[in-house]
Structure 1
Amino acid sequence: MSNPLESRVIELGKHVVRMTTAAGSGHPSSALSLGHIVGTLMYEQMRYDPCNPWNPASDRLVLSEGHSVPIVYATYADLGGVVGKSPAAKRALTLDDLKTLRELDSVLDGHPNPAEGFPFFDAATGSLGQGLSVGAGLALGARLSKIDKRIFVIIGDGESREGQIWEALDFIIDHKLVNVCPIFNCNGQGQADYVSKQQSADVLVGKLRAFGYDVQDVDGHKMDQIAAAVAKVGKGSMSIAIVARTQKGWGVDSLKDKSNHGKPLTAAQVADAEASLDKVAAELKLSKASGPAPKPPMPPSANGPAKKDKIAVMPFAEAVAKTGMAEAVAKNKLSTRRAYGAALVALGHADERIVAVDGDVSNSTFASLFGKAFPNRFFECKIAEQNMISVAAGLSAAGYIPFASSFAKFLARGYDQLEMAAITRANVKLVGSHAGCSLGADGPSQMSLPDLAYFRAYTNADDGRGNPALTFFHPADAVAAYRLTEMAANINGLCYVRTHRPDVPLIYPQDATFKLGGCGKLAEGNAVTVVGSGYMTTLALAAVRELEKAGVKCNLFDAYCLPMDAEPILSAARKANGVILTVEDNFAGGFNAALAEAAARSGDVKVFAMTCPRIPKSGKDGDIVLAALGLGVQNIVARLKELARG
């Protein structure tokens, strides 16, 4: 006997064809392969309320195979699911709305994106390989909130070639996240050709079993088989993985060939496609779907983590004492990476939403201090930075404030994941330690030199809510690191905190205050206006003090935030000799570029830069490397003398 939901899948297929044709783009063949899987989940198996997609107790669906999203849109519209950027702006999605797929003012984006008003999803997907990691983060959040929920993640077979998928599969086993279920849509086709045999259903079954999963091998167009497999999720001690054998373009003969990926039908072809689906319905002896869509089972009631208007940490002195750093402060030598660890612990005491993930370097980033203080809120990701960043995005979607730390250089392999978090508008804080040339002996494979230019690009973009797409913090000393980490926790959006390995003297008093877009004035003069950032502020200060002995007084600013208000620096430069010198341990494109653009707009100040001029090599310590690059204290002194002479 056929499942009555199969008749609805026929109608969903027609909607997929119509909506992609109306849009003139999209992926109808991929969407059609998922009709029975999505139908089983959204009509029957998932516990959720389509009228309240913000309910934290709801089962969740992450469509890692984001290009197949029209089938989800069609099902959600059939259910009358709620859309909108907030509960106050909610409305029911209608079948007529499907015609607006991919339009500029539509909530139906080309790929899943909750930020554009489709809150059924928790994260933007479409750049392949990332959804399972997001699902793992959602599961961690559910565990912390003591919520019994399941997370289903649909992954394409071609997509499973992405290494991040296997990072996430390991992570799920490591952390015993049995409520996460990866579902592999094995339709055998990629974009340009058939998938490799290495991504075939048979091989995937073997790989997943080797990874420790209880694999359910099902016909992806048999709803009873899908339902039986889904019902096992979260019931035992093993994680369930479903390998669903499907057909791309199911039900529509003209969309089954491998040449049809990402190709909607023309308007003239739609009638034949609908007739093809009706033929399948007749062969299966399905009656035409009628009446309202069946209501999915309701979730239990539950609450996510409690929100606070402001997170306030304990005084700096108390925090460093709690984390064993008081002696270092007394000796006036403490690195920004260690102060970050103290700040993270203080934040953990201040707010239960603070969580931390790290990529097997927590004893270097000092996130290990948080792990010792709050072991249930620290999640080791091992050497898998892409998975780590996407897990953080999932934790953010679950209502937590994740700090994700690694060496700044290693975070570079997760820039795509960061971009997807930005599209999601995730509340994730990245912390990159051991940044810049000051790392010294480890050499350029461990340094991060282009990161400032990369992250600065985000600080210049609006996130669609009137805020920067990312806020960048670059502390020069321990006090700044402590307070800027606190500031990052209070920003609802992406942040990047750049820390350094070397111990440095305290520049700021322990009760110093900082502000968004601000800078600290450390010296005043009438010669050149010097702007340092991070570790280089310490060297710039030494150079300025040396010049003072020779009677040359310079302005000195510590630039610690992007986007920045450049006016205090420009104003000081105008009152001096009209010249600014920026000093940085990274490639060009950071604070030097920000000030140069501001100066170009004002037209009355010149900006010169000292940045890393070439790919460096290792030296016995950071100062030796910096001197070899022309960035040592004496190099700064010499350049300032030149600029002071005019």
Structure 2
Amino acid sequence: MSVATVDHDMLSALSRQLRVDAVRAADYAGSGHPTSSLSAADLMAVLLAGHLSYDFEATQNPANDHLLFSKGHATPLLYAMYVAAGAVSSEELRWYRSSGSRLQGHPTPALPWVDVATGSLGQGLGIGAGIALAGLRFDRRDFRVWVLCGDGELAEGSMWEAFEFAGHERLRNLTAIVDVNRLGQRGPTRHGWDTAAYARRIAAFGWHTVEIDGHDVDQIDAAYAEAAESDRPTAVLARTRKGKGVRAVEDAEGAHGKPVPDAETAIAELGGRSAIRVDVAAPEYEQPTRPADAGTGSNLAIPVYEQGHDVSTRTAFGQALAAMGHARPDLVVLDGEVSDSTRTSYFEAEHPDRFVECYIAEQQLAATAVGLAVRGWTPFAATFAAFWSRAYDFVRMAAVSGVGLCLVGSHAGVSIGADGPSQMGLEDLAAFRALWRSTVLYPCDANSTAHLTAAMSEHPGLRYLRTTRGEVPVVYGPEETFPIGGSKVLRSSAADDVTIVAAGITVHEALRAAELLDDEGVRARVVDLYSVKPVDVATLRQAAADTGRLVTVEDHWPQGGLGDAVLDALTGSTVMPAVLKLAVLALPGSATPAEQLCHAGIDADSVVDAVRDLMSESG
């Protein structure tokens, strides 16, 4: 449908109603962002009445359009739209931003019509691009993706990663609606109302651009129709006035993020309350056909590695992922232009149609993965462990959204060798452990890596796998299993004097240390804590009770990593052992992997020295 077929008087009345309800919601809450909502009300009224194709009664219809509020603070407008569509009652606005209300200050999937949580500015467009890519390349459906953006967030670098990605992929089903209202939180934006400045920049990335008056419904309608006909992504650059329709706040600085001063006067000025209901055009229901419906890989045959051989865990990850691609048609793999290092190139070679190259744009890498997950695909996204810090806010918001992602960080720790600290992920375990309902895995050999790669694909939520660059001995036989939340006791006896807890590269150092200690008459239990979160509390507490002494050793900073996971597991235990944490304490430089482990004090000899000290101190 187009506004051309809609009564313009009704449309004007709908715009006023959206503004009134936005004012009401913020007034009830005593907080919120009504002025940012008022500026975009005409844009959303035209979209809702004439261009959005969405079935509010069948949110899982794969033919539905997607609407994302990248400027997530404009929830008063979003919820006013839901009222107009009949999805939310007008009275529910009274509970906006209240405890227990699903109408939260920024959008979350607590509402079935919200795909992802937004509000951390600069994210919606990138995620929208991921959804649009899924539609064109994988789902092969005709839905459209609409993203409402603020002009202020165009200062975010992630927006320009999204613009370039979408232009390169020619995502013709993606429309960015930019509300150019000139004012940010503390004052004017960088380019103010200069929509031409934005148009030049966005067009340079291969987008079709349209500059309009964002309060002229005919221009809005024409722009949306033009976007639907374009063979490229379209940016509608709409010049608007913040606080439009309320004289006390219209185009006024200092009004951001506050209810209007006098809601009753503002509502009267806007024409008073109304109860217009929009019959949003719903697409015909289509049965889901995505490969995820085919099952979860019961025919999977992961690679098997011979004990004693040297294989890097990043190689085992890549080979396992390629094997999984044959049994799991729902898998899509993404990389940030380091696939030869992360080993996702193995998947690309065997399944090129399900590989997405995001280039050196880690924020868009994460955003694309989120968009694919929204559409029901199972994304694996990989880059160096250190570089996930670039995209951490996207990953944080993915956890808030409850989106299922499999993320992999290679080249972790000082053990990568001579590249130096810029390439060494030394914060990743702490960062991913801190995320809501996350899973953090750090295997030590090829067989455990292959098993955990397969296991994480079927686990819910946000999952992170840490891999190692260098080749390491295969410790486990192919018959071993590695449940998430478990661990492996590699050496133990009834007379153990100390427990060494390690993961990844340090497991091998711990085993060598145990052999050296054995020559001195000290018996050391060795625990491979491959599941850093959730952690195997029972095994750790048993080791604490049996040995009374624990040494943790990790290729990571001491804060928030393996050692802290162990201490957390012991909190509340009836037996508290003597604990010594070994971790990277000094900023590393360039050196060989063996030198790096020695310099950091996490090699076998350092573990032996730590055990001696601990036993001496604890008697």
TM-score (normalizing by structure 2)? 0.94
Aligned mate of 1:599, from 544, 567, 570: 570
In structure 2, relative to structure 1, the CA distance for the partners of 1:198 and 1:372 (3 Å cut) is: farther
Q: Which residue of 2 aligns with 1:507?
A: 475
Deviation at 1:330, TM superposition (A): 7.8
Aligned mate of 1:495, from 457, 463, 479: 463
Deviations 1:541-589 (A, max 9, x none): 111122223432210010011121222122133223x001011010112
| Aligned partners of 1:233 and 1:240 also within 8 Å | yes
Q: Which residue of 2 aligns with 1:80?
A: 86
Deviations 1:463-512 (A, max 9, x none): xxxxxx10100011111111111111011210010111010000111121
Q: Which residue of 2 aligns with 1:282?
A: none
Q: Which amino acid aligns with 1:145?
A: D
CA distance in 1, matches of 2:466, 2:332: 18
Give the secondary structure class of the aligned counterpart of 1:206.
Answer: helix
Q: Which amino acid aligns with 2:56?
A: P
Deviations 1:36-57 (A, max 9, x none): 1111112210111122222111
Q: Which residue of 2 aligns with 1:151?
A: 145
Aligned mate of 2:281, from 296, 299, 307: 296
Q: Which residue of 2 aligns with 1:519?
A: 487
In structure 2, relative to structure 1, the CA distance for the partners of 1:218 and 1:300 (3 Å cut) is: farther
Q: Which residue of 2 aligns with 1:248?
A: 242
Deviation at 1:448, TM superposition (A): 1.0
1:444-463 → structure 2 map (5 Å cutoff): 444-458=421-435, 461=436
In structure 2, relative to structure 1, the CA distance for the partners of 1:573 and 1:309 (3 Å cut) is: farther
Q: Which amino acid aligns with 2:163?
A: L
Matched, 1:307 2:307: no
Deviation at 1:120, TM superposition (A): 1.4
| Aligned partners of 1:45 and 1:297 also within 8 Å | no
CA distance in 2, matches of 1:314, 1:75: 46
Q: Which amino acid aligns with 1:425?
A: G
| Aligned partners of 1:430 and 1:495 also within 8 Å | yes
| Aligned partners of 1:581 and 1:610 also within 8 Å | yes
Give the secondary structure class of the aligned counterpart of 2:490.
Answer: strand
| Aligned partners of 1:395 and 1:401 also within 8 Å | yes
CA distance in 2, matches of 1:592, 1:199: 53
Aligned mate of 1:546, from 501, 516, 519: 516
In structure 2, relative to structure 1, the CA distance for the partners of 1:376 and 1:419 (3 Å cut) is: same
Q: Which amino acid aligns with 2:14?
A: R
Deviations 1:104-126 (A, max 9, x none): 22111111111x2x121211100
Give the secondary structure class of the aligned counterpart of 1:334.
Answer: strand
CA distance in 2, matches of 1:59, 1:132: 15
| Aligned partners of 2:19 and 2:41 also within 8 Å | yes
Q: Which residue of 1 aligns with 2:540?
A: 569
| Aligned partners of 2:308 and 2:474 also within 8 Å | no
Aligned mate of 2:104, from 109, 114, 134: 109
1:163-562 → structure 2 map (5 Å cutoff): 163-197=157-191, 200-256=194-250, 257-266=252-261, 269-278=262-271, 292-299=277-284, 301-305=286-290, 306-307=292-293, 310-312=296-298, 314-316=300-302, 319=303, 332-458=309-435, 461=436, 469-525=437-493, 526-561=496-531, 562=533
Matched, 1:616 2:588: yes
Q: How many residues align?
A: 603
In structure 2, relative to structure 1, the CA distance for the partners of 1:109 and 1:8 (3 Å cut) is: same
Q: Which residue of 1 aligns with 2:120?
A: 127
Q: Which amino acid aligns with 2:365?
A: M
CA distance in 2, matches of 1:538, 1:483: 19
| Aligned partners of 1:599 and 1:607 also within 8 Å | no
Q: Which residue of 1 aligns with 2:3?
A: none
| Aligned partners of 2:509 and 2:603 also within 8 Å | yes
Which stretch of the first structure deviates more once superposed, 152-161 or 330-339? 330-339
| Aligned partners of 2:182 and 2:192 also within 8 Å | no
Deviation at 1:604, TM superposition (A): 3.1
CA distance in 2, matches of 1:546, 1:412: 38
Deviation at 1:309, TM superposition (A): 6.0
| Aligned partners of 1:529 and 1:554 also within 8 Å | yes
Deviation at 1:136, TM superposition (A): 1.1
Deviation at 1:644, TM superposition (A): 3.9
Q: Which residue of 2 aligns with 1:285?
A: none
CA distance in 2, matches of 1:361, 1:133: 20
Give the secondary structure class of the aligned counterpart of 2:112.
Answer: coil
Unmatched 5+ stretches in structure 2: 1-6
Q: Which amino acid aligns with 1:374?
A: H
Aligned mate of 2:95, from 96, 100, 103: 100
CA distance in 1, matches of 2:284, 2:266: 37
